[in-house]
């Protein structure tokens, strides 16, 4: 029986969609923010429990380079934005002051220069579409974890190191630890442990070559990196941080794992096996066999934990040829299976789990985030 979604809030984007990337809701329940990036700045607004912007708490961080030249994150207390660029990781305060910068190797693959500023390559055609790393704040905001292209000016870890993973003190910019990420990334993103600031997940994309998944633990002196798999995308962490939600690089297997990468017993699913055919695929396609030639369902690289035992996932990419993309609830206790979600209005985007039983979708016009919660089964 389908589950019904109830619209909890409609959160307007602070910037026009023609000038900015999509808006995002970040942070755990009680500490949520609406953030959005354009070429010139990042805007952050604190949200209350009803997902309304708190009065007078909008903050703007001037951006050091255009948004297509890297990634970014805002600190949990909105005191700092950190930009992961082509040549450096830079921490910027709301005033525009640079708190610190850590320079590293160039993310344009053929370049072996150690640039001192963005201006050195801003107009170079060969640097227009670089690979990229990422940054992530620890749960308490005191640490910045950074995935960078080596080497740092302070020397190489070893001659064979391509990408490095750093732990940086948020206040001073001092590099506390560094390790070989054992990857050659096209892009990446961080997912922090929700309770332990000394643990972090790093999901790396290497294009068609694979998707290395790393789990970092910093004991105050040494950064230990567990290489969980070479073919997994990390999509979410449970509220306790004890469980990981992953999708295989080929998008066929969804799984719940422990922080060592082991699949929790009974919690791995093949999309082709557990997802029924799309209703639109039943129409005759004209080839005389009486039905449609539907490609197997595949998991989107989207979703996450609504609570400790419930996932939200989607199959919109493979559904698109046949009609409306589908979202699914997954009960990991083994009692509910996969339940399709029904919405009161058309939903075209993938879901983003927000925790606390809520999730978000982006409006077709990309200027509003719709926040949803469950409203019980349909009759």
Per-residue model confidence as pLDDT tens digits over 52-81? 999 887 899 999 999 999 999 999 999 999
% of the chain at pLDDT higher than 90 = 81
Q: What is the pLDDT of residue 197?
A: 95
pLDDT of 234 higher than 70 = yes
Task: Answer yes or no: is 154 within a domain.
Answer: yes
pLDDT digits over 95-133, tens only?
999 999 999 999 998 898 999 999 999 999 999 999 999
pLDDT of 290 higher than 70 = no
For residues 189 and 320, membership in a common domain is answered with no
For residues 169 and 316, membership in a common domain is answered with no
What is the reported pTM? Answer: 0.93
Q: Give the end of a domain, one of 218, 238, 258.
A: 238
Domain ranges, residue 91: 63-238
pLDDT of 289 higher than 50 = no
Say whether 223 sits in a helix, a strand or coil. Answer: strand
Q: Which residues contact 13 (CB under 8 A, 6 or more apart)?
A: 20, 22, 23, 34, 36, 366, 367, 368, 369
Q: Give the end of a domain, one of 178, 209, 238.
A: 238
pLDDT digits over 359-373, tens only?
999 999 999 999 999
For residues 277 and 332, membership in a common domain is answered with yes
For residues 300 and 362, membership in a common domain is answered with yes
How many Å separate Cα 234 from the centre of its chain? 8
pLDDT of 241 higher than 90 = yes
For residues 231 and 253, membership in a common domain is answered with no
pLDDT of 47 higher than 90 = yes
Whose structure tokens read 């070893």? 158
Q: Which of 15-24, 147-156, 213-222 has the lowest mean pLDDT?
A: 147-156
Task: Answer yes or no: is 23 within a domain.
Answer: no
Q: What is the pLDDT of residue 57?
A: 74
Provide the token pair at 52.
């309304």
For residues 283 and 229, membership in a common domain is answered with no
Task: Answer yes or no: is 41 within a domain.
Answer: no
Question: Is residue 167 within 8 Å of residue 218, measured between CB atoms?
Answer: yes
For residues 293 and 213, membership in a common domain is answered with no
pLDDT of 304 higher than 50 = yes
Q: Residue 294: pLDDT band by 50, 70, 90 thresholds? A: low
Task: Answer yes or no: is 128 within a domain.
Answer: yes
Task: Answer yes or no: is 342 within a domain.
Answer: yes
pLDDT of 167 higher than 60 = yes
For residues 75 and 103, membership in a common domain is answered with yes
Q: What is the pLDDT of residue 288?
A: 44
Q: What is the pLDDT of residue 282?
A: 65
Q: What is the pLDDT of residue 337?
A: 81
Give the angle 94-96-98 at the CA atoms, nearest 5°: 105
Q: Quickly count: other Cβ atoms within 10 Å of residue 48's Cβ.
A: 13
Q: Are strands 337-342 and 3-12 parallel, antiparallel or unpaired?
A: parallel
DSSP state of 211: B
For residues 177 and 133, membership in a common domain is answered with yes
Mean pLDDT rounded to a whole number for the chain: 92
For residues 361 and 224, membership in a common domain is answered with no
Q: What is the pLDDT of residue 153?
A: 86
Q: Stretch 144-165: mean pLDDT, rounded?
A: 90
Q: Residue 164: pLDDT band by 50, 70, 90 thresholds? A: very high
Q: Residue 159: pLDDT band by 50, 70, 90 thresholds? A: confident
Task: Answer yes or no: is 49 within a domain.
Answer: no
Q: Residue 209: pLDDT band by 50, 70, 90 thresholds? A: confident
Q: What is the pLDDT of residue 379?
A: 37
Q: Stretch 145-162: mean pLDDT, rounded?
A: 89
Count how many domains the chain has. Answer: 2
pLDDT of 279 higher than 90 = no
For residues 314 and 289, membership in a common domain is answered with yes
Q: Stretch 244-259: mean pLDDT, rounded?
A: 95
Task: Answer yes or no: is 207 within a domain.
Answer: yes
pLDDT of 336 higher than 80 = no
Q: What is the pLDDT of residue 284?
A: 45
Task: Answer yes or no: is 227 within a domain.
Answer: yes
For residues 164 and 272, membership in a common domain is answered with no
Q: Measured on CA atoms in the order 149, 233, 29, 60, is the torsion positive or negative?
A: positive
Q: pLDDT higher for 156 or 294?
A: 156
Nearest to 86 by CA among 120, 131, 123: 131
Q: Give the end of a domain, one of 206, 238, 270.
A: 238
Indicate the length of the chain as a whole number: 379
Q: What is the CATH number of the domain that holds 70?
A: 2.40.128.630
């Amino acid at each position: 029986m389908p589950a019904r979604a109830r619209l909890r809030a409609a959160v307007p984007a602070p910037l026009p969609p023609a000038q900015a990337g999509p808006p995002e809701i970040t942070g755990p329940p009680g500490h949520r923010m609406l953030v959005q990036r354009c070429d010139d700045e990042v805007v952050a607004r604190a949200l209350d429990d009803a997902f309304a912007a708190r009065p007078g708490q909008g903050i703007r961080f001037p951006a050091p380079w255009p948004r297509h030249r890297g990634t970014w994150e805002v600190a949990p207390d909105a005191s700092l934005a950190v930009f992961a660029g082509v040549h450096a990781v830079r921490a910027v305060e709301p005033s525009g002051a640079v708190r610190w910068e850590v320079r590293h190797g160039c993310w344009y693959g053929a370049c072996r220069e150690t640039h001192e500023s963005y201006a050195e390559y801003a107009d170079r055609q060969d640097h227009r579409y670089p690979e990229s790393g990422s940054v992530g704040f620890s749960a308490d905001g005191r640490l910045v974890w950074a995935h960078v292209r080596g080497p740092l000016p302070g020397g190489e870890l070893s001659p064979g190191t391509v990408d490095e993973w750093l732990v940086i003190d948020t206040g001073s910019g001092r590099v506390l630890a560094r390790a070989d990420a054992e990857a050659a990334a096209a892009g990446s993103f961080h997912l922090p442990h929700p309770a332990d600031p000394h643990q972090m997940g790093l999901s790396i994309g290497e294009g068609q070559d694979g998707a290395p998944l790393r789990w970092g633990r910093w004991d105050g002196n040494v950064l230990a990196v567990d290489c969980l798999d070479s073919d997994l995308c990390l999509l979410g962490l449970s509220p306790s941080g004890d469980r990981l939600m992953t999708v295989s690089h080929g998008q066929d297997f969804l799984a719940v794992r422990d922080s060592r990468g082991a699949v929790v017993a009974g919690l791995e699913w093949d999309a082709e096996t557990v997802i029924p055919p799309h209703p639109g695929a039943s129409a005759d396609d004209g080839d005389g066999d009486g039905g449609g030639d539907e490609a197997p369902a595949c998991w989107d690289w989207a979703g996450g934990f609504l609570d400790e035992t419930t996932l939200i996932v989607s199959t919109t990419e493979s559904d698109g040829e046949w009609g409306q993309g589908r979202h699914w609830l997954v009960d990991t206790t083994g009692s509910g299976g996969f339940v399709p979600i029904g919405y009161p209005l058309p939903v075209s985007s993938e879901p983003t789990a927000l925790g606390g039983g809520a999730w978000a979708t982006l409006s077709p016009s990309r200027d509003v985030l719709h926040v949803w919660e469950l409203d019980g089964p349909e009759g």
